[in-house]
Structure 1
Amino acid sequence: MRFKRIFMIVTDGLGIGPDKKQKQFNDEGANTLLHVSETNLLEIPTWKKLGITSIAKTSKPGKIKNQLAYTAKIEELSNGKDTLTGHWEMMGIYTETPFPTFTETGFPPELIKELEKAFDNRKIIGNRSASGTDIINELAEEEIKNNKVIVYTSGDSVLQICGHEKYMGLDNLYRYAQRAREICSSNPKWNVARIIARPYIGENGNYTRTFNRHDYAIEPEKNMILDRLKEKNIEVISIGKINDIFSGHGITKHFPSKGDADGMDIAINLASENTQNQMIFLNLVQFDSHFGHRRDVEGYADNLNLFDIKLSKLINALKEDDLLIITSDHGNDPTFRGYNHTREALPATIYSKAFKKPKKLDNVNSLATLGNIVAKNFDVELASIGEDIWDKLI
């Protein structure tokens, strides 16, 4: 073991431009980080010092002579551009066939009928691809007054269920989501990657989604890298929605978060402790959920600026024998058409205070390359996909 602890941060929905499959996914021209930087609001001095501009274009790249981290551009191997596909690939799972989506048609009548039975015979409204904030603002009053349930989807493989925390209650909303997971998993044609419970609060047309969201994902394959770590008594700590993404598999301790800043603060606090034999796995969901999908480019820039401030604090808290990996699961360009994920190349930033001469590496194949770093460090079996770049990290 070279590093006693490894921190892996996923900036959910932050891509860095074209990859080999971008045309295949009809996402030509998407470049999340570049287009966010063109707001001229972006200030990420810490990440630039680490070397992010050596692999990613920004409107004001600046010149960093001696970058502090290893960097690489990643070509995702799997055929998808969603959360599960990206995160699962990090831990060695290759997704050959994309999960089903219902963007164009909504969910089929036979599925809706089964869901309504499971939802205490409440009538489903919505059933189309939409922005979560938009469809809640449009249909919340009808849902509340007439005891109905808002169900919608997006360009991702998801079925999202909305419920007011006061009138439907979280217990009912979570129960409906669990039943929806069982129903969708019973039929390959319906088996979406995630069922998402989307709670909200508010009155009289003024509604806000809360951080009590819960995802019910398809069960991942057994014996992925997280499972191997847990079997070897490595403590795997999840922060944010990581636990949901892997359905708890391989996780030994979980910290829910109230947003990206809170998630970073949890990581900073953990870094400040004198611990070992740990992998800390953090997802920063708001880049995707609050700014990418909502096509809020200025909010995206502000969130990146806040992340950079927190990143500086995290680096200060890291020990000499800690390793930090920053990457993304897919793109979500807030300037692109529609409001869905974008297929893009993904960044890798690999930092330790112990590194002697970090530099830009050649492009790497598969997000599993990063999971293989974790596996190699803790002496567990590497993934069957991805590369082994361990010996390049000196």
Structure 2
Amino acid sequence: MAKAIILVIDSLGIGHAPDAAAFGDVSANTFANLAIAFHQQTGKAFKIPKLSSLGLVSACEQASDLTFPYEGVLPDKGAFGYAAEISTGKDTPSGHWEMMGVPVLFDWGYFLNRKESFSKDLIEKVNKATNFSGILGNCHASGTDIIAALGQEHINTGLPICYTSADSVFQIAAHEEHFGLDNLYTYCEQVRALLDKENLNIGRVIARPFIGEDPASFTRTGNRRDYSVLPPAKTLLDKFSAAGGHVISVGKIADIFAHQGISEKTKATGLPALIDSTIEHIHRAKDNSLIFTNLVNFDQDFGHRRDPVGYAQALEYLDTRLEDVYQAMGEEDILFITADHGCDPTWPGNDHTREYVPMIAYHHNISSVDLGERSTFADLGQTLAELFELNKMPYGTSFLADLNFKK
């Protein structure tokens, strides 16, 4: 067996999930709604010939009974379906862990107060643990918005900007030069240890470094770091690595899995660099490798910022790069394209949306295959377990037999 490649188009939901009502997300549809908004705002249909040929549009139409404007073709060389999530949340770790065979069947802890998110008691404990006199922020916020609003005060006072969202996260923004990147990482590690000690069950502490000298120039950098709790059980990555496989993380994958089951990691900033790094690894990775890439920009740059035009243009760019991915793949390589949750850029607020995600597979000898509705993201992990001849995962149903793939 040569290589498997997973591209996670972070937040590309394709229609509200069966349990969307419980999340207030009925009628959310990241893919369809951004296509409609792009057409309304530009007068054009966005161009996705390769993604449509893989069956992405068809999967969305099946999942949502919606049609929308696009320039593309009917499916002709990919297996396509749509998968629901069984994890309790609609966050990044839950989605990724479930696709690797370990759904999150417990409730995360959350900071629910949107304006005073962290209690006075917790802030006092944070200050004591970190030896700081206070924090800025203490609210639900978009990362770019809160940096613009508080970045100057942060530089002047030296106090970290702490905020959260509807996800189970404690986020800390700080200036790379004035505060120091190493100091930010140390602060995050101290907060991570405190949250664990307090048994708050918060999924991630996230370092959000930025640069610039005023609100107009403040820009987040690629030195983000996620401090995640461990998955509740061994994932497909753990099993594959233990069996001698080589797992290559591109982007934030290693952080999401708390660096468990990861053999090699590559950080990259921006969509072009993430795709370039993935292609480089496809070229040089040895047999029995899994290249796992998270394309975070779809979520952080366009989904959360509610920018459907930017999201559509990013999908157009990804579409143009798929041929480069195909060309790098060997005859025995297989590509999977999926997502971890939705983040509808036309939806109220700036949080994730509970949606089906695409489940797409491609190899050089595949014909169009309709995989239909999948009951869990874990079908991907089960398929990889069969592909790499590992013991079955506790969750998921393999669709390898549907792919006409000769190992």
Q: Name the residue aligned to 1:276.
A: 287
Deviation sequence 1:52-84 (CA, Å, 0-9, x none): 111114522567455200001101111110000
Within the candidate set 203, 213, 223, 1:193 is matched to 203
Q: Name the residue aligned to 1:31.
A: 29
Q: Name the residue aligned to 1:76.
A: 85
More deviation in 54-63 or 340-349?
A: 54-63
Determine whether 1:359 maps to 2:357. Answer: no
Determine whether 1:334 maps to 2:345. Answer: yes
Partners in 2 of 1:222 and 1:87 — Cα distance? Answer: 13
Deviation sequence 1:242-282 (CA, Å, 0-9, x none): 00000110000001011222111111122223731100000
The 5 A counterparts of 1:110-259 are 110-188=121-199, 190-206=200-216, 207-259=218-270
Q: Look up the equivalent residue of 2:270 and give its one-letter code.
A: G
TM-score using structure 2 length: 0.93
Within the candidate set 103, 107, 110, 2:118 is matched to 107
TM-score using structure 1 length: 0.96
Deviation sequence 1:130-155 (CA, Å, 0-9, x none): 11111111111111112211100011
Q: Name the residue aligned to 1:22.
A: 20
User: What is the RMSD of the two structures over their aligned residues, measured on CA atoms?
Assistant: 1.5
Within the candidate set 283, 287, 301, 2:312 is matched to 301
Q: Secondary structure at the match of 1:270?
A: helix
Partners in 2 of 1:117 and 1:141 — Cα distance? Answer: 24
Partners in 2 of 1:226 and 1:297 — Cα distance? Answer: 33
Partners in 1 of 2:166 and 2:154 — Cα distance? Answer: 23
Q: Name the residue aligned to 1:285.
A: 296
Check whether the contact 2:53–2:74 (CA below 8 A) recurs between aligned residues: no
How far has the Cα of 1:292 moved from its partner?
0.6
Q: Name the residue aligned to 1:263.
A: 274
Q: Look up the equivalent residue of 1:56 and give its one-letter code.
A: C
Partners in 2 of 1:99 and 1:62 — Cα distance? Answer: 40
How far has the Cα of 1:372 moved from its partner?
1.1
Check whether the contact 1:15–1:333 (CA below 8 A) recurs between aligned residues: yes
Unaligned runs of 5+ in 1: none
More deviation in 18-27 or 64-73?
A: 64-73
Q: Name the residue aligned to 1:90.
A: 99
Q: Look up the equivalent residue of 1:28 and give its one-letter code.
A: V
Check whether the contact 2:10–2:295 (CA below 8 A) recurs between aligned residues: yes
**How many equivalent residue pairs?**
390
Unaligned runs of 5+ in 2: 40-44, 62-66
Q: Look up the equivalent residue of 1:71 and give its one-letter code.
A: F
How far has the Cα of 1:388 moved from its partner?
2.1
Residues 289 and 315 of structure 1: CA distance in aligned 2, closer, same or farther (over 3 Å)? same
How far has the Cα of 1:235 moved from its partner?
0.4
Partners in 2 of 1:229 and 1:4 — Cα distance? Answer: 14
Q: Secondary structure at the match of 2:254?
A: helix
Percent identical residues? 38
Structure richer in helix, relative to its length: 2
Residues 274 and 231 of structure 1: CA distance in aligned 2, closer, same or farther (over 3 Å)? closer
